[in-house]
Amino acid sequence: MIANIVFKEYLIRYKRPEPVQATVNDDLRISIVVRADLPTISTAQKEACIKEKTFIDIEPKKAKPLEEYWKVMYLIQNFLSLGIMAPVHPLAITGKIKALEVVIEKGKTHHLRISIFYKVPAISQATEEIMRFHMLFTFKDISDSFQVFIRNWFEKAEVLKPVYDLYFGTLYNPRMYLHQRFLSLIHAIESYHRRIMRNYELPEDEYIKKITEILDAVPRNYERWLEWKLKYSNEPRLRQRLEDILEACSEVVDTIIDDRGSFVDKTVDTRNYLTHYDPKLKERAADGIELYNLTQKLGVLLEICLLKELGFGSDNIKSLTTRARGRGTLF
């Protein structure tokens, strides 16, 4: 039996979300504003559609060159991409300029908007709809401390820019060869450790004393050559960097990495093989599905580091990464 239910009247109610504002620093404020295209009314009404469009308003205290806005957009774009775990691109950009300032009445002015067009690289199209439970974090997860998170993201941008570039480079280039993605993530992790953690093995005075003693003990004609070879000898090796990061994130990483020792060994051997192609390392390096899974773990490890720098606590990071595991990650 098929029930034939006819509704004689439909009522559509819509309430536009309130704008969300955050003061990034003394010179910059951003706002997330939702604007809506409402249904048109005609004598022969055949459809009613409400379509939301989300805009991010960038409001500096003083006018800036266009290049400065690109830098802000880059950081916002990456912040959103980290949250939804997918590339984000602006669909339209408008701006205001002093030359188009219109005086409405005494003490009040209005700036006419202009459309900004610029050349963009090829944009990868999403193959499936992005679901909330596939995201690393949603606005609901950060709404209570949105200003804190966005401030942290901007304040640490200068230090972490190489990390941002390398990590989001893999996100925005899904066709990247697997070994290239692996190496980019490794470089990002090394850069993160170098900029956030202790980037030396010995205190500087001890290291200088050690190097001086070594150089004094070699023939003079080899001194400059050896000095160049030892230039970065006080920096931690990749193995030490990985172990430091795993220890710093131990409350979270143990849920994705069962055996830290094996993970570090495999990562180091694979990086060394793909960098130097030493035949002796070929059998120890990851390949195929093993390389894929290793790369996925490195990506999650880097996400944990970025969430930590944003200001998330260990418990929150653990729940967020566990929830996002549904996006298809294979371990």
Give me the pLDDT at residue 325, please.
64
CB 31 within 8 A of CB 21: yes
Give me the pLDDT at residue 111, please.
72
Task: Write out the two tokens for 176.
Answer: 């990247």
E strands present in the chain: 20-25, 28-37, 51-60, 94-105, 108-115
Q: Which amino acid is at 212?
A: T
Tokens 């899904």 sit on residue: 174
Task: Write out the two tokens for 68.
Answer: 């400065």
- 248-272 pLDDT, tens digit per residue, is 999 898 888 989 999 999 999 999 9
Give me the pLDDT at residue 326, please.
55
* DSSP for 147-173, written as a single string: HHHHHHHHHTHHHHHHHHHHHHHHHS-
- 93-108 pLDDT, tens digit per residue, is 888 877 777 766 666 7
**CA 112, CA 99: separation in Å to the nearest integer?**
9
**CA 168, CA 82: separation in Å to the nearest integer?**
8
CB 198 within 8 A of CB 219: no
**Residue 287, C-beta contacts closer than 8 angstroms, at least 6 positions apart:** none
Give me the pLDDT at residue 7, please.
63
**CA 26, CA 136: separation in Å to the nearest integer?**
29
The residue ranges of every structural domain in the chain are 64-199+235-327
Whose CA is closest to 76, among 59, 94, 88, 91? 88
Cα torsion 37, 41, 46, 48: sign: positive
Distance of CA 269 to the CA centre of its chain: 26
CA torsion angle 174 179 185 191 (round to 10): -130
Residues forming beta bridges with residue 36, ordered by sequence position: 52
Q: How wide is the angle at C-alpha 177 spanned by C-alphas 176 and 182, nearest 5°?
A: 95
Whose CA is closest to 277, among 179, 167, 170? 179
> In whole angstroms, how far apart are CA 183 and each of 30, 33, 35, 111, 180?
34, 38, 42, 47, 5
Residues forming beta bridges with residue 111, ordered by sequence position: 101
Tokens 């969300």 sit on residue: 20
Residues lower than pLDDT 50 in the chain: 1, 327-331
Question: How does 190-220 read in b/e, with b if 16+ C-beta sit within 10 Å?
Answer: bbbbeebeeeeeeeeeeeeeebeeeeeeeee
CA torsion angle 64 67 72 73 (round to 10): 130
Give me the pLDDT at residue 330, please.
42
Q: How wide is the angle at C-alpha 293 spanned by C-alphas 291 and 299, nearest 5°?
A: 100
Q: What is the pTM of this model?
A: 0.84
In total, the chain counts a number of residues equal to 331
CA torsion angle 293 295 296 299 (round to 10): 160
Give me the pLDDT at residue 329, please.
44
Give me the pLDDT at residue 134, please.
80
Give me the pLDDT at residue 324, please.
75
